[in-house]
């Protein structure tokens, strides 16, 4: 069996940046182990399989509302085309203040004793710990910060934390383009030392920074080595739209 397959870099318009994901077009239902084997072969943290719902469907035809629905481990994810990118429809997850003493060892192991922390929040819905660094730091500090993720699963074994977000307020009047906030994301608990660009982390970041900045429309940059930018729009229905560019960097045929 031969399947069309692509690699697309998301949340960027430039090849080899953003978040790489494999997309495989499937004519017929595949055995479950085939999905896992293909994902393992692509060696990417995200691999999507697009299958026709009706035999008459055509992969090259436009959807009537330009929307695709993906079934993920976290539930349904809707994506729609916009003039200047792809919009992902996510739930918005609130945070609450986190007691420093409960996570102090984890934070010190990750970023050391000398890094100044301004705020600590926790999202129980996503089990993500949000650590806001001091406003005295700039983007370059976050980009070059050495984060030690190796010991974190040993330190936090309760299952409460499954992801660590480091975030920083944007620099007004600084770089062009300007961003409202910066972030990096780490999930060694699930085998992901650092994620290039993370939609799920921004469901938490959007909620936090919207309250901090009193804004519903924001622009964000994830400061990983690859880097990626997101346009954020909080909706009245309690969800959030995350918009980003996409660049197809590979197109080919997979033989199964």
Catalytic hit among 41, 46, 104, 229: 46
Q: Does domain 2-89+245-255 have CATH number 3.10.310.10?
A: yes
CATH code: domain 96-242 is 3.10.310.10
**Distance, CA of 206 to CA of 230 (rounded, Å):** 11
**Residue pLDDT, tens place only, 206-230:** 999 999 999 999 999 999 999 999 9
**Residue pLDDT, tens place only, 103-154:** 999 999 999 999 999 999 999 999 999 999 999 999 999 999 999 999 999 9
Mean pLDDT, residues 17-29: 90
Exposed e or buried b for every residue in 87-125, given b needs 16+ CB within 10 A? bbbbbbbebeebeeeebeebbebbbeeebeeebbbbbee
Task: Tell whether the model's pLDDT for residue 60 goes beyond 60.
Answer: no
Determine how many CB atoms are found less than 10 A away from the CB of residue 85.
19
46 catalytic per annotation: yes
Residue ranges, comma separated, of all CATH 3.10.310.10 domains in the chain are: 2-89+245-255, 96-242
Determine phi and psi for 41, rounding to 5 degrees. Answer: -65, -35
**Distance, CA of 184 to CA of 223 (rounded, Å):** 6
Handedness of CA 185, 186, 189, 192 (dihedral sign): positive
């Amino acid at each position: 069996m031969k399947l069309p397959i692509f690699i697309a870099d998301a949340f960027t318009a430039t090849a080899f940046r953003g978040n790489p994901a494999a997309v495989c077009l499937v004519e017929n239902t595949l055995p479950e182990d085939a999905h896992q084997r293909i994902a393992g072969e692509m060696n990417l943290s995200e691999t999507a399989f697009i299958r026709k719902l009706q035999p008459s469907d055509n992969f090259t035809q436009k959807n009537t509302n330009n929307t695709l629905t993906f079934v993920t481990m976290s539930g349904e994810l809707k994506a729609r085309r916009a003039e200047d990118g792809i919009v992902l429809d996510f739930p918005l997850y609130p945070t609450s203040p986190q007691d420093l003493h409960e996570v102090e060892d984890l934070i010190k192991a990750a970023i050391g004793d000398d890094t100044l922390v301004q705020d600590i929040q926790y999202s129980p819905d996503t089990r993500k710990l949000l650590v806001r660094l001091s406003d005295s730091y700039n983007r370059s500090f976050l980009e070059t910060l050495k984060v030690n993720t190796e010991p974190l699963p040993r330190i936090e074994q309760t299952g409460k934390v499954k992801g660590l977000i480091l975030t920083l307020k944007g620099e007004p009047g600084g770089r062009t383009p300007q961003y409202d906030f910066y972030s990096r994301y780490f999930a060694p608990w699930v085998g992901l030392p650092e994620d290039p660009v993370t939609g799920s982390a921004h469901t938490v970041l959007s909620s936090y920074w919207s309250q901090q900045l009193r804004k519903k429309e924001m622009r964000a940059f994830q400061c990983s080595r690859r880097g990626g930018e997101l346009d954020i729009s909080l909706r009245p229905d309690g969800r959030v739209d995350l918009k980003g560019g996409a660049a197809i960097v590979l197109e080919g045929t997979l033989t199964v």
